[in-house]
Structure 1
Amino acid sequence: MRPNERRLEILALVNRLGLATVEDLSEKLDVSRETVRRDLTALEAAGTIRKYHGGARALDNRSVPDDVESPFDQRMTHNMDGKRAIADAASQLFQRGDTIFIDTGSTTLAVAESLSHIPSLLVITNSPKIAAIIAGNGSSKVFLIGGAYGVEPAESLGPLALEQIAKFRAQHAILTVGAIDAAGVMNFDLQEAEVARAIIDRVETVTVVADHTKFGRRAVFEVAPLSRISRIVTDSVPTREISSAIEAAGASLIIAK
Structure 2
Amino acid sequence: MQASFSPRQAEILAAARRDGAASISALAAALGVSLETVRRDIRALVDDGHLVKKHGTVHVPDHGREAPFDRRMRENAAEKRRIARHVARLIADGDSIMMDTGTTTSILARELAARRELTIVTNSSDVARTLATVNGNKVFMAGGELHGDNGAAFGRTAIDFAARFRVRHAIISIGAIDARMGPMDYLLEEAEFARTVLSCGDNRILATDHTKFDRSALVKVCDFADFDLLVADRPPPAAIADALGAAGGRFEVAAD
Contact between 2:171 and 2:197, CA under 8 Å: does it hold in 1?
no
Task: Return the match for 1:103 from 100, 103, 106.
Answer: 100
Corresponding residue for residue 229 of structure 1: 227
Instruction: Provide the residue aligned with 1:57 in structure 2.
Output: 60
Contact preservation (8 Å) 1:18, 1:58: no
Report the CA distance between 1:128 and its aligned residue: 1.0
Query: Secondary structure, in 3 states, of the residue corresponding to 2:90?
Result: coil
> Secondary structure of the residue that 1:224 maps to in structure 2?
coil
CA deviations 1:82-139 (Å, max 9, x no partner) are 0001110110111111111011000100111111211111000001110111125331
Task: Determine which of 138, 141, 147 is the counterpart of 2:138.
Answer: 141
Displacement of 1:220 in angstroms is: 2.0
2:100/2:173 contact within 8 Å kept: yes
Distance 2:152 2:225 in 1: 27
Q: Which of 1 and 2 has greater Rg?
A: 1
Matches of 2:91 and 2:129 in 1, distance apart?
Answer: 19
Matches of 1:124 and 1:189, distance apart in 2: 21
Tell me, yes or no, if the aligned pair for 1:116 and 1:136 is still in contact at 8 Å.
Answer: no
Q: Aligned partners of 1:236 and 1:103: how far apart in 2?
A: 22
Distance 1:105-1:153 versus aligned 2 partners, 3 A rule:
same
Is contact 2:231-2:252 (8 Å) kept? yes
Q: CA deviation at 1:25?
A: 5.3
Equivalence map 1:144-163=2 (5 Å): 144-163=141-160
Between Structure 1 and Structure 2, how many residues are aligned? 210
Q: TM-score, normalised by structure 1?
A: 0.74
The runs of 4+ residues in structure 1 deviating greater than 2 Å are 17-21, 23-28, 55-60, 70-74
Q: TM-score, normalised by structure 2?
A: 0.75
Please name the residue that 2:196 is paired with: 198
Check whether the contact 2:79–2:209 (CA below 8 A) recurs between aligned residues: yes
Q: 2:4 is matched with which residue?
A: none
- Which of 74, 79, 82 pairs up with 1:82? 79
SS across alignment from 1:246 = helix
Q: Which residue of 2 aligns with 1:24?
A: 23
| 2:166 maps to 1:169 | yes
How much is the aligned-residue C-alpha RMSD, in angstroms?
Answer: 2.7
Percentage identity across paired residues of the two chains? 35
Structure 1 residues without counterparts, runs of 5 or longer: 1-16, 29-48, 50-54, 61-69
